[in-house]
Amino acid sequence: MNNELKKKVKAFAPASVANVSCGFDVLGFAIDKVGDTLQAEATSYPGVIIESVTGPGNLSTDPDKNICGVIAKAMLAKLDLHQGVRIRLTKGILPGSGLGSSAASSAVTAFAMNELFGNPFTEKQLVEFAMLGEKLASGSAHADNVAPAIMGGFTAVRSYEPLDIFKIPVPNELYCTVIHPKIEVRTELSRNILKKQVELKTAIKQWGNVAGLVAGLYSSNYDLIGRSLTDYIIEPVRSRLIPGYFELTQNALLAGALGCGISGSGPSVFSLCKGHETAKKVADAFTEKAVLLGLPFDIYVSKIAEKGARIIDNE
C-alpha cells in the first residue's frame, strides 16, 4: 500500500471480450489499442463532480446516473474522507458495442480513484467496486469484463459469492480479431432474452468446453483452444440479434481462425487466432463479408493485452 495522495491522475482501461464463447459471465480477456481514459482530480470539498464526458455515446454527467460517479462515491464513502473528486471521462468504446464499454469506464474509475488516494484497496476490491458500475449499466454485477479491464490478460471468475478471480496464462502466439458492426445491442436486452433454464446434457457439453479452453490456454494447445470455442447456451439465442453472424464467423473460420464467438452481449464478433498473419487474414475475411452484407463496421487486431488499467500521464 502506498499512502501518498496525489492531486491529479490520468488513467486508461482497455476494452475487453467477455464470455469467450463457452464461459458466460466467468471468462474474459483484455484487448489493446482501444479503451476509456479518465482524469481525476481530488477536491478539498466532499462530493463527486463529473465535469465532462466526451467520445461516443450520450452519457449523463449526473454522478448518481453515471457509472463513474456511482463508483467514485462508493469508494469515497468507504475511505471516509472529507474530500471529493472531479472527473473527466473520454470514451473510446461505443456503448452497446459488446467490447466492455461500461466495464472500461468502471475499471478506469476504480483504478484512478485508488491511485489518487494512495492505493488503499486491493486489486480484488477494485473489481468489486467496478462491478457496481456494471450493475448500474446492465442490472447485473458481473465481473467477466471488469476483471480483465483492471487486471489485464485472460481472467476467470471461479466464484461470485465470495468473489474469487484468477488469471490464466496466454500463449505467446494467441491473437484476437474483432469486428464491431455499428449497430447497438443493449446488454440489458440481450440478457433478458436468455433462457432461465438449461438442459443437463447441454450444460455438460458447455462445462467440457470451459475446461478445454482453460486447459488449452495453460498448455498453449491451440487445437484444443479452437475445439473448445463452442457455445451451446448463449450464442444460439443472441446470434439472432447480429445481422450476418453466421456468414461472418464462417468466413473467419475459412481464413484460419481457431474459433469465433459473440463478444460479450454483442454485436461485436471475435475470433481467436494463432499468429499475427492469420489474425490479419481473418480481419480481411470479416471485412469482405461485412462489405457484402452492407454492414458499417470497425475492425481490431490485437494480442491479448497483458496490462489492464494503468496510469498514462501522472499530472
Q: Known catalytic residues?
A: 134, 187
For the beta carbon of residue 57, count every other beta carbon within 10 angstroms.
Answer: 16
Name the residue with cell 490464466. Answer: 168
Which residues lie closer than 8 Å to 26 by C-beta, 6 or more apart? Answer: 144, 156, 157, 158, 210
* Three-state DSSP string of 86-145: EEEEECCCCCCCCCCHHHHHHHHHHHHHHHHCCCCCCHHHHHHHHHHHHHHHHCCCCCCC
What's the grid cell of residue 142? 458481473
Alpha helices in the chain (DSSP H): 67-79, 101-116, 123-138, 146-151, 187-192, 200-219, 222-228, 235-238, 245-254, 276-293
